[in-house]
């Protein structure tokens, strides 16, 4: 149902717009970012994502993170040894592993988020433990702990 009103009987408040532009005379204050020492971030919430060895010299944050993802997958592909028993039993699938990249760049707290079989899960953890030390994620210029989830696709050829 449409209700038509007489516009002469309706009061409309005027909206005042203020400029948000600043000039060189304006003073502003830098806020200190309080980073809890033990807080664990995910890659969406960090200003600078972790950097995998060999990706440091790329120009942009996106290029470095893309390189990070590629290098981690290459590392896993090279280091993952398909367990013989899993081959014989025809066990395969995608193992989701998460881990924390610590403030010192080392990997810790490796967790199987979604496993396939103990044989593949254990091999996935073994490979993640071997990841090299990285440049950690940063928030407000400080190194922070960041959780990263990695799918490992263990397929029989």
pLDDT for 45: 87
In this prediction, residues 28-38 reach a mean pLDDT of: 55
CA-nearest of 47, 49, 44 to 33 is: 47
State pTM to two decimals: 0.74
In a domain, 124, yes or no: yes
Are 82 and 123 contacting, i.e. CB atoms less than 8 angstroms apart? yes
Tell me how far apart the alpha carbons of residues 134 and 105 are, in angstroms, rounded to a whole number: 4
> 79 in a domain, yes or no?
yes
Whether residue 15 lies inside any domain: the answer is no
For residue 18, pLDDT beyond 90: no
Would residue 30 count as lying in a domain? no
Residues with Cβ within 8 Å of 80's Cβ and at least 6 positions away in sequence, in order, are 123, 124, 127, 152, 154
- Which range (35-44, 71-80, 133-142) has the least confidence? 35-44
The pLDDT of residue 8: 61
pLDDT tens digits for 71-118? 999 999 999 999 999 999 999 999 999 999 999 999 999 999 999 999
Tell me, yes or no, whether 78 lies in a domain: yes
Does residue 16 fall inside a structural domain?
no
Q: Is residue 55, in this structure, part of any structural domain at all?
A: yes
Between β-strands 142-154 and 137-139, what pairing exists: parallel, antiparallel or unpaired? antiparallel
CA–CA gap between residue 140 and residue 157 (Å, rounded) = 45
Give the CATH number for residue 81. 3.30.1150
Domain count, the chain: 1
């Amino acid at each position: 149902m449409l209700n038509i009103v007489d516009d002469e009987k309706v009061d409309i408040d005027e909206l005042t717009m203020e400029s948000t532009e600043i000039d060189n005379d304006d003073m502003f204050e830098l806020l200190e970012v309080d980073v809890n020492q033990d807080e664990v971030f995910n890659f969406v919430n960090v200003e600078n994502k972790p950097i995998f060895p060999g990706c440091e010299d790329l120009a942009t944050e996106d290029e470095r993170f893309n390189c990070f993802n590629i290098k981690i997958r290459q590392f896993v592909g090279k280091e993952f040894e398909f367990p013989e028993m899993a081959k014989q039993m025809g066990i395969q699938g995608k193992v989701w592993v998460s881990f924390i990249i610590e403030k010192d760049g080392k990997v810790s707290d490796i967790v199987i988020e979604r496993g396939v079989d103990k044989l593949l899960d254990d091999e996935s953890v073994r490979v993640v433990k071997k990841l090299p030390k990285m440049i950690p994620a940063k928030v407000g210029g400080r190194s922070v702990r960041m959780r990263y989830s990695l799918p490992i696709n263990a397929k029989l050829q």
